[in-house]
Amino acid sequence: MRVIQILLTVWDRLSIYLPIAVMALMALGTYWLVENTPKPIATPVERSSRSDPDYYMKDFSVTTFAEAGRLKSEVFGTAARHYPNTDALEIDRVRIRSFDDQGRLTTATANRALTNSDATIVELFGNALLIRAAQPGQNGTVQPRIEFRGEYLHANIDTERVKSDKPVELRRGDDVFVGDTMDYDNLGQVMVMQGRVKGRIVPAKPSAAKP
């Protein structure tokens, strides 16, 4: 009897800790399963390889804004096709209005255009016309209106650079230049024309004499 009572006492004490021991074993088993379960293979996110348009627009306009809410560009066209592999937009009968950080306006028109997502890089094809409005310059002077015409123009609005490997006519105020190719850097105030280059520079009008 004495032995039975001792065994019963030991069993009662063990039964108190039995649920804790079971829970510990379950936790260890769960940890082992998590550590030994094969990890899923991550699928890299890639740009679509489709070379055909993934959507179309007709008689549309697209407006983009800078982070502070400032109007950055407006693009209008009779039809457009988006190419997912390059994120480029091909536009028919395009009209573009673009504003830089100082609010200066540049406009562009052409039979067809290719632009990036925010219209800061534009290729114009057929009857291409790019105009930068007159704007205040340094020392209180005014930089005259600049106009580019040709069958092809490549413009980077952010860097203010326009170039073409085809004949171009450039008008800066009353001055006119034509050439077979052109690379115009507005920020650096450098223009390079090659081929059959011609130019007409109109002398500046003398300022009116002060009384």
Tell me the whole-structure pTM to 2 decimals: 0.69
Q: What is the pLDDT of residues 65-98, one digit of tens each?
A: 887 888 888 989 999 999 998 889 999 999 999 8
Do 78 and 177 have their domain in common?
A: yes
Amino acid, res. 20: I
Residue 50 lies in a domain: no
The answer on 75 and 108 residing in a single domain is yes
Q: 14 and 95 share a domain? A: no
pLDDT at 50: 62
Whether residue 19 sits in one domain with residue 84: no
Range of the domain at 112: 55-200
Residue 91 resides in a domain: yes
Position 45 in a domain: no
What percent of the chain lies above the pLDDT cut of 70?
71
For residues 139 and 75, state if they share a domain: yes
- 81 and 125 in a single domain? The answer is yes
Q: Are residues 110 and 163 in the same domain?
A: yes
- Domain total for the chain? 2
d(CA 119, CA 109): 13
Q: What is the pLDDT of residues 190-206, one digit of tens each?
A: 989 999 999 898 887 66
Task: Evaluate whether residue 205 is within a structural domain.
Answer: no
Is the model's pLDDT at 170 over the cut of 90? yes
**Domain match, 83 and 137 both:** yes
Compute the C-alpha angle 35/30/16, nearest 5°: 145
The pLDDT tens digits for 103-146 are 888 899 999 999 987 778 999 999 999 998 887 766 677 788 99
51, 148, 155, 176, 194 from 107: Cα distances, Å: 29, 11, 11, 19, 25
12 & 62 share domain: no
**Domain-located, residue 70:** yes
Residues 76 and 138 in one domain: yes
* CATH code where residue 118 lies: 2.60.450.10
